[in-house]
Structure 1
Amino acid sequence: MFAGITTGTRLRTRPAGPETTASRPPLVRELMLVTALFLVYKFGRRLANGHEASAFDNADRVWSWERALHLPGEGSVQQLLLHGDTLVKVANTFYATVHFPATVAFLVYLYLRRPGHYLWSRRVLAGLTAAALVLHITVPLAPPRMLTTAGLVDTAQVYGPSVYAATPDTDTMANQFAAMPSLHFGWALMVAVGLIAATRSRWRWLWLLHPLLTLLVVVGTANHYWLDALVATALLGAVLYFVPRPRRLIQLPAASKPGRGAPAPTAPELSPSSPLSPSSPLSLLPPLTLASQPAPAAPRTPAPELTEAVR
């Protein structure tokens, strides 16, 4: 008479981590793609060579805009580095060696551990680099270390190490007039944003120290203006707005079935002597509907006169 009761309730569970439904892309394809993007950027920057006059005119404008905006002078940061040769050499080494390896390590980690976030980060970095390349070509800009008005020291040439040639005309590896925007800072900021989005540690916000340290280094070594970092931040924000973030997988397990997971509720066991037991003859009768019945009348007590007559 009783049937098992099953429920269709599905419990929403938290995912084990920020993994997404995206699959890991082929490694060889990704290596070829990232290498091609790097080469396009590297050779594309050199298209801005030969525009020294425009680069210095733009540098004068940027320096004037920063003073009009009351931004702190780049020299105040450089003075902190010039207190000792060791500190300024560490800053130059950081500028020369951390930029690319940190970004590559970031992409490798995401590729191995967070494929969905890897695809997202790679697209964001590609979009940021493409936007920066357009500005490098259309708006050549001399760095503050070349600007006489700034009165700054070219720390890389004086203290070493340096990644640039002593004269821009003889530099065949890099375009020294591509200061706006600062990809050193833009990439570092994306590394921090990507790691904060892909991890769940309560200490993940400390990754913001990476772009902060990078900002102090690029400004203190006189390779970039404050506005270079601000423009890089604006471009990164725009790219992040248009590139959709990966979604975390939400697991919705199916309802529990007998034999798998929790057993379904069953009817209570009935003894054979119970009137509701299937073996009882009463179980063959149609079910009765219980309705409110009047209480039986109490037995009447005989009157005293009748009792005496009977005696």
Structure 2
Amino acid sequence: MNLLQPVRRPAPRAGRLRPAVTRPRPLRELLLITVLFSIYKLGRLAATGRVGEAFANARRVWHLERAAGLPAETGVQHALLHSGTLVHAANAYYAYVHFPATAAFLLWMYLRRPGYYRWVRWTVVALTSAGLALHLLVPLAPPRMLAVTGLIDTGARYGPAVYGAPQTDTVANQYAAMPSLHIGWALIVAVGLIAATRTRWRWLWLAHPLLTIAVVVGTANHYWLDGIVVAALLTAVLLVLRPPRPAPDPVTIPPRSATVG
């Protein structure tokens, strides 16, 4: 053994443990995600049939935002409507990015950051469960349905459209605007990638939730308050489900001096 060669030893662990490197079994994980998604969809559909309450809550939210001095959502939509290309792109982002981006993020974390995957998965489950509870407790019509807002349904008018007539929609509950899981899941994607990567450019992932906020408000699918509430819920979740501590860099120990016999 060369006594003059530096010895590299891991730094002592402190606080939270470093992330584990084992992955859950893929078939079991796929089954878990499928079951959770099915429960989420069934729960949203169980909240239908409360149309009058949903519109009453929508008027309360609109007037509460104005009383609180929040800017009207119409400003964002009017900016979109200056360009047909821009409004079409916003509609497409709303329709096609939400689920695929979240699914791709979970798959990437599973394959490339298994030590963070369980934390991310349970964060998604906790936030979605809290959102579903609010959907059941507080049905809310989106601003595109509320005439007093002066907003239009950009998806229906310019395409691509996500929703059909609320009375005949058997896939989604359109009276579940509070909170916005579009914004919530986008925030989880950004927070997860910032926590699990070390590159200096990782903070650019915040562009995803910021763009999502602009899209869901500009297309009149959500109020500002829907985003504020989901951000508060995610903050509470992250205070309980803390991210794992990243593995420390190895520490170089100076070589021991050779003794002359």
TM-score by length of 1: 0.76
What are the within-5 Å matches in structure 2 for residues 1-311 of structure 1?
12-13=10-11, 20-165=19-164, 167-250=165-248, 265-269=257-261
CA offset digits 1:77-103 (Å, max 9, x no partner): 000111122111111010000000000
Check 1:21–1:150 CA distance in 2 against 1; reply closer, same or farther (3 A cut).
Answer: same
Distance 1:48 1:141 in 2: 10
- CA separation of 1:12 and 1:56: change in aligned 2, threshold 3 A: same
**Counterpart amino acid of residue 191 in structure 1:** V
Q: Distance in 2 between matches of 1:14 and 1:91?
A: 48
Task: Work out the CA distance in 2 between the residues paired with 1:53 and 1:248.
Answer: 49
CA distance in 1, matches of 2:219, 2:71: 15
Q: Which moved further from structure 2: 243-252 or 120-129? A: 243-252
Structure 1 unmatched runs, 5+? 257-261, 270-311
RMSD after superposition = 2.3
| Cα pair 2:91 2:161 within 8 Å, conserved | yes
Distance 1:268 1:38 in 2: 70
Which shifted more, 84-93 or 139-148?
84-93
Distance across 2 between alignment mates of 1:76 and 1:14: 53
Q: Match for 1:63: what amino acid?
A: W
CA deviation map 1:38-83 (0-9, x unaligned): 1111111011110000000000100010001110100000001111
Matched residue type, 2:113 = R
CA contact 2:195–2:243 (8 Å) conserved in 1: no
| Counterpart code for 2:212 | T
Distance (whole Å) between structure 2 residues aligned to residue 174 and residue 183 of structure 1: 13
Q: Which amino acid aligns with 1:134?
A: A
TM-score (norm 2): 0.91
Relative to structure 1, the CA distance from residue 199 to residue 50 in structure 2 (aligned partners, 3 Å threshold; closer, same or farther) is: same
Give the CA deviation at 1:248. 2.5
Distance 1:128 1:30 in 2: 18
CA distance in 2, matches of 1:136, 1:65: 19
Deviation at 1:116, TM superposition (A): 1.6
Deviation at 1:245, TM superposition (A): 1.7
Q: 1:22: Cα distance to partner? A: 4.0
Give 3-state SS (helix, strand or coil) of 2:222's partner.
coil
Alignment-mate amino acid for residue 268 of structure 1: V
SS where residue 231 of structure 2 aligns?
helix
Secondary structure at 2:161's aligned position in 1? coil
Identity %: 57
Displacement of 1:11 in angstroms is 5.1
Aligned to 2:200, the other structure's residue is in SS state coil
Q: 1:268, CA displacement in angstroms?
A: 2.0
| Cα shift at 1:250 | 4.1
